[in-house]
Amino acid sequence: MGYFGKVDQQKKAILLRRKGHSIRFIEKKLNVSRSSASLWVKNVKLTKAQIDNLYRNRDSGRLKGSYIASQNKIGKRKKHVLEIENRALKDVNILSERDRFILGIALYFGEGSKTSHSVCFTNSDPYAVRFIKKWLMDFCNVEIQTIRCNLYLHDNLDEDKAKKYWSKFLTVPISQFNKTYFVKNNENRLRHSKHINGICRLTVSRIDVLRQILGWIKATLYV
């Protein structure tokens, strides 16, 4: 089965799941493996009525126990993550201006281009890109109108939707987004949720700013 065939099967599986059908039913209906059916519909939330109906289905006798166990596991994991985040928040507290300055240097050292003639920072995490954008404006006197963005997208993703997302999140006008680079999606690994808005490269064509950042990196790490 080719890539588009898999996408078509995936869409059918999602529609069936939204109607409240079991994984076993979807598996048999579409003649696919149970692991594929489970993967494709894992993000579909069933209503209480649909879950109750599956409980009453004799072919889904084990569903209730596995569902409850799964929900308990998810609940415990969320609670544990929340506890860690709260402790981390207390550890970090409020960042000073110097904290932000040093953090920006470290981020650029890790993810920024150091060999071109422009400032270039590329990341899939919107918060990291937004932090660097504000850092450049606050510490490098970069003006918003000089910032340009490029997206890297798998060819099965929506370019307009991705641009709108990044534009809103970064508060950078879409008119300042340059050419989008498309990457062929791996037919054997359908990407459902990873990087759904692509990866963003933020660029400022000012070699003086790049040299200043490289000087800060050298002063921080190499001296």
Q: What is the pLDDT of residues 191-220, one digit of tens each?
A: 445 678 999 999 999 999 999 999 999 999
CA distances from 145 to 174, 204, 210 (A): 11, 10, 17
Least confident of 130-134, 147-151, 196-200: 196-200
Same domain? For 102 and 82 the reply is no
Residue ending a domain, among 67, 90, 113, is: 90
At residue 65 the predicted structure's pLDDT band, cuts being 50, 70 and 90, is low
Residue ending a domain, among 65, 90, 115, is: 90
Same domain? For 43 and 116 the reply is no
pTM check: above 0.75: no
Write out the residue range of the structural domain in which residue 130 sits.
Answer: 97-222
Same domain? For 114 and 190 the reply is yes
Using DSSP's 3-state secondary structure scheme, residue 61 falls into coil
Q: Is it the case that residue 63 has pLDDT exceeding 90?
A: no
Where is pLDDT greater, at 196 or 60? 196
Cα separation, 127 vs 84, whole angstroms: 19
Cα separation, 194 vs 165, whole angstroms: 15
Q: Which residues are registered as beta bridge partners of 150?
A: 201
Look at residues 124, 205, 204 and name the one whose alpha carbon lies nearest to residue 169.
124
Q: Is it the case that residue 184 has pLDDT exceeding 60?
A: yes
Show the tokens assigned to 210. Answer: 């790049």
Work out how many domains the chain is built from and give that number: 2
Where is pLDDT greater, at 116 or 136? 136
**Residue 62 corresponds to which amino acid?**
R
Same domain? For 53 and 118 the reply is no
Residue ending a domain, among 90, 117, 152, is: 90
